[in-house]
């Protein structure tokens, strides 16, 4: 067993889209474990879009990562030393490991993974992204059979789960995805009724025409994952009393390119169509997570809910995989195989 740990740090704050030099790689001795803590050897690390926000020194719903600190994130790993009652060496646990080969987790900051579905699913389809989809659709999408839902980043862990849940609730589901292959996956693997390739429709009006064709009865739920061109194209297609759960705006995470002020158009649509627009952050809903896992884990294990994982080998490759994900280089849940 190694006595060294490796971690990826924030070396400096990115200007716009992150580059590899924004990250550092540090090695050091394995940390000591005190009473109430366990040492975990990380097996799989989750890379998520929200981490881009943590790289900025701005006040948000969570604290910014400090320069030199380990990049934050959730991981799955094996307990190699424990001073926590109820956790033993060899247990597979999920917790906030950060981008690191090893992590010290407090007993109340980790949970055991004992489901039939593989441990990596605790980071994607059965983890924070899947839970976000399940919660947001019920609470803020309020789907009704016969309605139409549109979602971008449709083959990612949030989008794929939203699409499958909405489809099983009897909605027409329309995916927006980057590239022909992702559009094919959206329809063939995740059961979307139609898919629109945002890369093939460079401007907003072409995007709107393609979406209008895919949504002959208009749009009742626009699940907001990306903002940008997709939002601008969807807004005029919204039906009266439509719902827009705002889950993410990844197109703007590294800065806004367009200087055109779209706020008046958006506000006018919200008013005249009496839309319900709800921002939400999944951290406010954690109490419901055990219920979600209990209900969905058997379906995932049985293959009734499809998911895709995009696994990169090696912690040292995490920055590159993260940068690629932000612009659509991933196909499915972005994971790093650490050990
Ligand atoms: N509110 C919350 O609590 C919460 C929780 C989890 C996730 N989220 C948000 O949910 C969204 C999806 O998360 P995820 O983990 O499922 O991500 P993901 O799909 O694995 O990865 C992000 C995807 O966004 C798409 N994308 C990037 N730039 C885009 C652009 N300019 N226009 C259109 N699409 C673009 C790309 O897919 P294509 O190649 O298909 O375009 C990319 O693969 C993110 O915005 C994330 O921040 C929010």
Convert the pLDDT of each residue in 178-209 to its tens digit.
Answer: 999 999 999 999 999 999 999 999 889 999 99
pLDDT at site 265: 86
Give CA–CA dist 83/76, Å, rounded: 18
Write the pLDDT tens digit of every residue in 251-290. Answer: 999 987 666 678 888 999 999 999 999 999 999 999 999 9
Question: Residues 152, 227: contact at Cβ < 8 Å?
Answer: no
State the average pLDDT for the chain: 96
Q: What is the dihedral of CA 185, 186, 188, 189, to 10 degrees?
A: 80
Q: Which domain holds residue 179?
A: 142-282
Is residue 217 domain-shared with residue 275, that is, in the same domain? yes
CATH number of the domain where residue 184 is located:
3.40.50.720
Is residue 161 domain-shared with residue 245, that is, in the same domain? yes
Of 131, 112, 177, 121, nearest to 151 by C-alpha is 177
Domain annotation covers residue 216 = yes
pLDDT greater than 70 at residue 1: no
* pLDDT band, very low/low/confident/very high, at 108 (cuts 50, 70, 90): very high
Of 225, 246, 282, 330, the residue with max ligand 1 atoms within 8 A of its CB, to mutate for a pocket test, comes to 225
- Ligand 1 atom showing the smallest separation from residue 179 Cα: 39
**Spacing, Cα 184 to ligand 1 middle (Å):** 18
**Looking only at Cα atoms, what is the longest distance across the chain?**
64
- Ligand 1 atom showing the smallest separation from residue 280 Cα: 1
Overall average pLDDT of the 28-55 stretch: 97
Question: Residues 311, 335: contact at Cβ < 8 Å?
Answer: yes
Is residue 109 domain-shared with residue 154, that is, in the same domain? no
CB within 8 Å of 311: residues ≥ 6 apart: 44, 120, 335, 336, 337
Of 153, 233, 280, the residue with max ligand 1 atoms within 8 A of its CB, to mutate for a pocket test, comes to 153
Q: What DSSP element (H or E) covers 39?
A: strand 37-46
Domain annotation covers residue 15 = yes
Is residue 65 domain-shared with residue 174, that is, in the same domain? no
Domain annotation covers residue 62 = yes
Is residue 120 domain-shared with residue 165, that is, in the same domain? no
pLDDT greater than 90 at residue 59: no
Domain annotation covers residue 299 = no
**Spacing, Cα 249 to ligand 1 middle (Å):** 7
**Spacing, Cα 83 to ligand 1 middle (Å):** 38
* pLDDT band, very low/low/confident/very high, at 213 (cuts 50, 70, 90): very high
CATH number of the domain where residue 106 is located:
3.90.180.10
CB within 8 Å of 271: residues ≥ 6 apart: none
Instruction: Give me the number of domains the chain comprises.
Output: 2
Is residue 42 domain-shared with residue 117, that is, in the same domain? yes
**Spacing, Cα 113 to ligand 1 middle (Å):** 26
Give CA–CA dist 152/187, Å, rounded: 13
Is residue 208 domain-shared with residue 238, that is, in the same domain? yes
Is residue 146 domain-shared with residue 269, that is, in the same domain? yes
Is residue 48 domain-shared with residue 116, that is, in the same domain? yes
- Ligand 1 atom showing the smallest separation from residue 182 Cα: 40
**Spacing, Cα 28 to ligand 1 middle (Å):** 33
Is residue 271 domain-shared with residue 313, that is, in the same domain? no
Is residue 275 domain-shared with residue 146, that is, in the same domain? yes
* pLDDT band, very low/low/confident/very high, at 165 (cuts 50, 70, 90): very high
Closest CA to ligand 1's atom 33: 226
Is residue 149 domain-shared with residue 180, that is, in the same domain? yes
pLDDT at site 259: 61
Domain annotation covers residue 297 = no
CA distances from 284 to 68, 109, 128, 243, 289 (A): 28, 16, 12, 20, 11
């Amino acid at each position: 067993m190694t006595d060294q740990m490796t971690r990826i740090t924030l070396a400096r704050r990115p200007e716009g889209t992150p580059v590899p030099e924004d990250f550092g790689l540090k090695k050091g001795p394995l940390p000591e474990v005190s009473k109430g803590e366990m040492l975990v050897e990380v097996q799989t690390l989750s890379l998520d879009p929200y981490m881009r926000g943590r790289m900025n020194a701005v006040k948000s719903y969570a604290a910014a990562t400090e320069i030199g600190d380990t990049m934050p994130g959730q991981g799955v790993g094996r307990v190699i030393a424990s001073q926590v009652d109820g956790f033993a060496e060899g247990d597979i646990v999920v917790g906030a490991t950060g981008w690191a080969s090893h992590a010290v987790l407090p007993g109340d900051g980790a949970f055991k993974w004992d489901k039939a579905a593989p441990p990596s699913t605790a980071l994607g389809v059965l983890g924070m992204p899947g839970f976000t989809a399940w919660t947001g659709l019920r609470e803020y999408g309020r789907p009704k059979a016969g309605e139409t839902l549109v979602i971008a980043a449709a083959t990612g862990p949030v989008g794929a789960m939203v699409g499958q849940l909405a489809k099983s609730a009897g909605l027409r589901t329309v995916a927006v995805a980057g590239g022909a292959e992702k559009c094919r996956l959206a329809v063939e693997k995740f059961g979307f009724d139609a898919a629109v390739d945002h890369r093939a429709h460079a401007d907003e009006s072409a995007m709107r025409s393609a979406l209008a064709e895919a949504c002959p009865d208009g749009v009742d739920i626009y699940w907001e994952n990306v903002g940008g061109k997709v939002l601008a194209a969807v807004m005029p297609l919204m039906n009266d009393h439509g719902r827009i759960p705002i889950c993410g705006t990844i197109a703007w995470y590294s800065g806004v390119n367009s200087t055109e002020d779209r706020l008046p158009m958006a506000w006018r649509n919200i008013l005249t169509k009496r839309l319900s627009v709800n921002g939400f952050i999944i951290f406010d809903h954690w109490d419901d997570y055990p219920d979600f896992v209990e209900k969905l884990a058997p379906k995932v294990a049985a293959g009734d809910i499809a998911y895709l994982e995009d696994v990169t080998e090696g912690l040292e490759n995490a920055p590159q995989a993260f940068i690629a994900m932000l612009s659509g280089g991933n196909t499915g849940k972005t994971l790093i195989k650490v050990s």
